[in-house]
Amino acid sequence: MILSVNIAGVEWKSPITTAAGIVNSGKEYGTYTDLSILGALTTKGVSLDEWMGDTVPRITETYGGMLNSIGVQNPGVENFIKNDITFLKNLNANVIVNVCGHEIKEYVSVVERLNSVDGIDMIELNLSPLNPDTENKWANFGRDIETTTKIVSEVRKVTKIPLIVKLSPNNLSDIVEISKAAEAAGADALSMINTLIGVRIDIFRKKPSLGNKIGGLSGPSVKPVAVGAVYRVAKSDVKIPIIGMGGITNAEDALEFILAGATAIGVGTANFGNPRVTMNILDGIKQYMSDNNIDDINKLVGAALNS
Amino acid sequence: MKDVFEAEIISNDQIALDIYDLYIKSPEEVSKAKAGQFVSLFTDNPAMVLPRPLSLCDIDKESGIFRIVYRAGGSGTRQISKYEKGQIIKGIGPVGNSFRILPNTKKFAVVGGGIGTPPLLELCKKIKNEVPDSEIFVYLGFRSVSQVILEEDFKKYSDNVYITTDDGSYGHHGNVISVMKTEPYYDVIYSCGPTIMLKFVAKYADSNDTKCFVSLEEHMACSIGACLACVTKVHTKDGEWAYRRVCCTGPVFNAKEMVWT
């Protein structure tokens, strides 16, 4: 049974990664689950300098999901390299470093720094709609074709490491058009979706539940939106592979994304409800393949697109 | 590798307004647990994506049973409150640091507020076991008589248990700080409860040059240190502040470290 997939020239032993910002660099989750079954581990967002993150409460549960505004708390790229790279190199899975910044030149500087580090297999650009820019407005680097083109091409100029661009559907633009722009600007792969912007109100305190007021929605409640994004982009003339994510909790969810056109899948929020969920999903995919006499996972990729 | 535990519910009874008394059997986890730690319990409702971190009120190494006294305040804990004897509940833990007992401390103040009270019971048991000539003063504050819990349990470890209520419907009318001030000194103070109460306990400790440890509560996602949701501000050596994770650096912090906001 073939479970390996190829994303932008990088061979993954299984089609599963962790969504950025969930397992940090894997040290904590590695005590609960076998991270070596992953095709890749995606790290938490890494910025140029230390980011302190948002005020608490940073998370609140919603029906079938959760809102977060962690604010990408991270120690900055130098401390990331010093503290986490050795651990990541020994994982026996590909390492995807998620990169974030307040402005384009910060993304470029982080990627330039990562170029010289051994053990990084792919870079994922976090174009989250929630990242603040230097004036604390929403930077939303994936908001339109122009901004997406600019950031992807600037980063592309400075690195040969395979580049994944992470996108989210938003009301300002069509994710298919943004995906085309990312591909044309040099992206090697796409990951989708990032969280959706949301708010929960605490009816007793009569104010938003999150310290940052606005957060990103993740979990099972976003899944149809995420499958829809993957399906539409896969059906378009975008050629680069898609890593699908958004509410994946079990093998059935993962298979929906794969059949909709994702070459691999990412698991985020579900790790909180079950630290071994990635192992369970892989087992479930194998079971499905064996039950349905499928010898190669790649035969399932996009199988639902031609119906 | 650590695993999610599966514990049998021994009993799960209401003991006060919205407050439940849960006993679960999980010998392996109980054998490892320390006073001040917590477990995170999963509901069986897939619409609830996060575990519920709940403090350990009693850790009975002989029977392998955790006692967890919790408030059914949100959707998850309300769901847990409906689980019955014999059902299996999943969880992770025990998680977090623990209450440390410092050498040469004899006179203890234990200050609880509302649903912050339960983990202090296991602390009192620990003090009684480890410091034979200890003197424990327990101050427990609640909103009203309908929410008063664990008074008799604390009396097993202390002859000085004082209850206060905000509305005066039981015990002393007012807050715990005013009652604890009637003793001239303590060697150390331990506290768990609402942040505003912890802040005043810490202030009292600071002005009396008394060692003080507080146990915090914060919204958590993973409960194991990865997600960085449950942070709290602490002073750093360079005069700045930094975020520390309540789930694994805490939940117990030296009150002197805390940046109160």
* Chain A interface, best mutation among B218, B227, B248, by max A CB count within 10 A: B227
Give the position of tokens 């599963």: A16
Residue A287 CB-density burial (10 A; 0-12 exposed, 13-18 middle, 19+ buried) = exposed
| Chain A residues whose beta carbon lies within 8 Å of the beta carbon of residue B250 | none
Gap from A167 CA to chain B (nearest CA, Å): 21
- Cα of B67 to nearest chain A Cα, Å: 22
In sequence order, which residues have a C-beta less than 8 Å from that of residue B63 and are 6 or more positions away?
B25
pLDDT at A171: 66
B186: which 2 tokens? 């303590």
| Residue closest to B130 by CA, chosen among B150, B105, B109 | B105
B1: distance to nearest CA of chain A, Å? Answer: 5
What is the number of other CB atoms lying within 10 angstroms of the CB of residue B123? Answer: 24
Residue among B260, B213, B223 at smallest CA distance from B245: B223
Q: Specify whether the CB–CB gap between B143 and B166 falls below 8 A.
A: yes
For B14, the token pair is 């209401």
Instruction: Taking each helix axis as running N to C, give the angle between helix A77-89 and helix A104-115, from 0 to 180 degrees, rounded to the nearest 10.
Output: 40
**Residue A131 pLDDT greater than 70, yes or no:** no
Q: Which residue has the tokens 């985020």?
A: A268
A132 has pLDDT over 60: no
Task: Report the complex ipTM.
Answer: 0.94
pLDDT digits (tens, 9 = 90+) for A37-73: 999 999 999 999 999 999 999 999 999 999 999 999 9
Provide the edge-to-edge strand list for the sheet that holds A215-218. Answer: A59-62, A65-68, A215-218, A196-198
Chain A and chain B share a number of CB contacts under 8 A equal to: 105
Token match 């059902």: residue? B87
Specify the residue for token string 């994946």.
Answer: A248
pLDDT at A137: 52
* pLDDT at residue B261, as a whole number: 81
pLDDT tier for residue A140 given thresholds of 50, 70 and 90: low
Instruction: Answer yes or no: is pLDDT of A138 > 60.
Output: no
A139 exposed, middle or buried (CB, 10 Å; 0-12, 13-18, 19+)? Answer: buried
User: Residues of chain A with pLDDT > 70: what percent?
Assistant: 95
CB A263 within 8 A of CB A17: no
Using a CB-CB cut-off of 8 Å, the residues of chain B touching A31 are: 1-2, 224
Helix, strand, coil abundance in chain A, percent, nearest 5: 35, 20, 45
Q: Which of these, A47, A40, A190, lies nearest to A119 by C-alpha position?
A: A40
Tokens for B25, please give them.
């059997």
The token duo for B209 is 């040059």
Does the beta-carbon distance from B49 to A58 stay under 8 Å?
Answer: no
Tokens of A221: 């409640």
First vs last Cα of chain A: how many Å apart? 25
Closest CA to A56 of B225, B47, B221, B75: B221
What letter would DSSP give residue A303? Answer: T
pLDDT band of residue A130 (cuts 50, 70, 90) is low
Q: Hey, is the C-beta of B196 within 8 angstroms of any chain A C-beta?
A: no
Residues of A in contact with B48 (CB under 8 A): 61, 273
**A228-263, pLDDT tens digit by residue?**
999 999 999 999 999 999 999 999 999 999 999 999
Mean pLDDT of A149-175: 92
pLDDT exceeds 80 at position A170: no
Over residues A2-16, the pLDDT tens digits come to: 999 999 999 999 999
Please say whether the beta carbons of B191 and B198 come within 8 A.
yes
Strands A122-126 and A163-167 turn out to be parallel
Judged by average pLDDT, the poorest of A81-95, A163-177, B116-130, B232-246 is: A163-177
User: In this structure, what token pair is assigned to residue B45?
Assistant: 């409702």
Residue A286 has pLDDT above 80, yes or no: yes
Is residue A126 within a helix (H) or strand (E), and if so which, with residue range? strand A122-126
User: Does the CB of B75 have a partner CB in chain A at under 8 Å?
Assistant: yes
Contact by Cβ (8 Å): A182, A156: no
The residue of B71, B220, B228 whose CB has the most chain A CBs within 10 angstroms, and thus the best one to mutate to test that interface, is: B228
Residues 14-43 of B with CB under 8 A from A: 42
* Rounded distance between C-alpha atoms, residue A192 and residue B53, angstroms: 31
Q: For position A269, what pLDDT does the model report?
A: 98
Judged by CB atoms closer than 8 Å, whether chains meet at A70 and B229 is answered as: yes
The Cα–Cα gap between A142 and A146 comes to 9
Q: pLDDT below 70 — which residues of chain B?
A: none
Contacts with B43 from chain A: Cβ below 8 Å: none
pTM here is 0.95
pLDDT at residue A169, as a whole number: 84
CA distance A143 to B75: 35
Residues of A with CB under 8 A from a CB of B: 21-24, 27-29, 31-34, 44, 52-53, 56-61, 63-66, 68, 70, 73, 219-220, 249, 269-276
Q: Averaged over A181-195, what is the pLDDT?
A: 97
Which DSSP category does A220 fall into? Answer: G
pLDDT at A97: 98
Residue A199's pLDDT is what? 95
Subunit contact B227:A70, Cβ cutoff 8 A: yes
**Amino acid identity, residue B140?**
L
Contacts of B250 (CB under 8 A, 6+ apart): B96, B97, B215, B216, B232, B244
Q: Are strands A40-42 and A59-62 parallel, antiparallel or unpaired?
A: unpaired
Beta-bridged to residue A12, according to DSSP, are A5
Task: Tell me the shortest Cα–Cα distance from A226 to chain B, in angstroms.
Answer: 17
User: Who's near B159: CB < 8 A, 6+ residues apart?
Assistant: none
**Which residues of A160-199 form beta strands (DSSP E)?**
163-167, 189-192, 196-198
Q: What is the mean pLDDT of chain A?
A: 94
The whole-number pLDDT of residue A139 equals: 57
Give the 3-state DSSP-derived string for B119-155, with helices as H, strands as E and coil as C: HHHHHHHHHHHHCCCCEEEEEEEECCHHHCCCHHHHH
Tokens for A219? Answer: 């979990």
With both helix axes pointing from N to C terminus, report the angle between A223-235 and A175-184 in degrees, rounded to the nearest 10: 50
**Rounded Cα gap, residues A168 and A266, in angstroms:** 14
**8 Å CB contact between B126 and B209:** no
Taking CA–CA distances from B48, the nearest residue in chain A reads A64
